[in-house]
Structure 1
């Protein structure tokens, strides 16, 4: 039975924002750790590590995130390992974020002037110490803007978790729309909430990028 769109429905949708934020935080934290490992592997002297990390990036950048969600959620169930929708979404998004952040950070590491590495090598610093004390601090400044920009994409990407039944912001909108059949009001509210979440981060990314360009021209 179709009913009216009410303030209780708005509250239900707004409360679902917390699950979008929780999923985004888990995926970004896991992706940051995985991305760092991928970036270090991509820039290491080991050909095996470089090829393995490049293959990982190609797989997860070359396939749709939706397919990755399906493979984790339904694939594990097929082999007798049923998985909770939140955990499935977190795993898939973490792998997705690891591939993209790994490539972003690989580019940032390689953007550090080679003279910095050569100077650290001349001071007899080991590879871990060169990366920790010389290369990574500089690479982090370069990577900040694109990393924040990717976080915006990750927050929006969590909407795909609705396909596997996880009740985040988009899924909450679908539930309310099925009950009220007011798609403009319901999904207009959902879109407004995504905008509120993502717009400040987009502004931050642009400002950081502009600041970085200014620092380079000085």
Structure 2
């Protein structure tokens, strides 16, 4: 058994935490980009597009993230697309994140009075102008808190990337546990680091929810 001091364990876990943070940021940024396109397409009221987006959301919300990671990493290789564990993790988390953000944003947009769309048309604003100047500024305030709140799920979801060989916080904890045979100590440190990452996001979400409380 290799001897590791507490400092060695924490230092190695913090190095792996950098990859957890980078993976979370990449997945959330990708999810926002995809969700914006899907939300804009849904607002066009095109039945075919709406049906495809509904199917997309149901597939990625209705299947485990772990399965999605397996399919991205191992499934794509079956059709000749060999991608790294990093790319597979980013892709699967992006698709997973976008499916939930689309529904969050749809609900936020639906809270706005429909009369604002009608008033915008009476003023001669185009669809894109209505989105830019009327709908999105109001929906942004309503959607900010739940979107940041959902980012906690993205951070915790990065732990599943360990199953496809990507070395992030959970994978590093497993490797250190195999080297030290001290699971309680190692995974207690892992849990504390996850808490340190997620709690500020949850707190920020609650503060913003109170600040932008539309019922007031």
Number of residues of Structure 1 aligned to a counterpart in Structure 2: 215
Q: 1:117: how far off? A: 1.3
Residue equivalent to 2:201:
201
Residue equivalent to 1:4:
3
3-state SS, counterpart of residue 216 of structure 1? coil
Residue equivalent to 2:65:
65
Residue equivalent to 1:111:
111
Residue equivalent to 1:125:
125
Q: Which runs of 5+ in 1 are unaligned?
A: none
Q: Which runs of 5+ in 2 are unaligned?
A: none
- Give the aligned CA root-mean-square deviation in angstroms: 1.0
Structure 2: distance between partners of 1:80 and 1:118: 50
Residue equivalent to 1:17:
17
Aligned pairs (5 A) from 1:133-148:
133-148=133-148
Residue equivalent to 1:43:
43
Residue equivalent to 1:154:
154
3-state SS, counterpart of residue 16 of structure 1? helix
Structure 2: distance between partners of 1:134 and 1:78: 47
- Tell me, yes or no, if the aligned pair for 1:40 and 1:106 is still in contact at 8 Å: no
Residue equivalent to 2:215:
216
Residue equivalent to 2:97:
97
Structure 2: distance between partners of 1:58 and 1:71: 17
Structure 2: distance between partners of 1:39 and 1:107: 11
- Tell me, yes or no, if the aligned pair for 1:97 and 1:154 is still in contact at 8 Å: yes
- Tell me, yes or no, if the aligned pair for 1:31 and 1:96 is still in contact at 8 Å: yes
Structure 1: distance between partners of 2:129 and 2:66: 39
3-state SS, counterpart of residue 116 of structure 1? helix
The farther-off stretch of 104-113 and 144-153 is 104-113
Q: What TM-score does the superposition give when structure 1 sets the normalisation length?
A: 0.96
Structure 2: distance between partners of 1:41 and 1:186: 46
Q: 1:211: how far off? A: 2.1
Q: What TM-score does the superposition give when structure 2 sets the normalisation length?
A: 0.96
In the TM superposition, structure 1's runs of 4+ consecutive aligned residues that sit over 3 Å from their partners are none
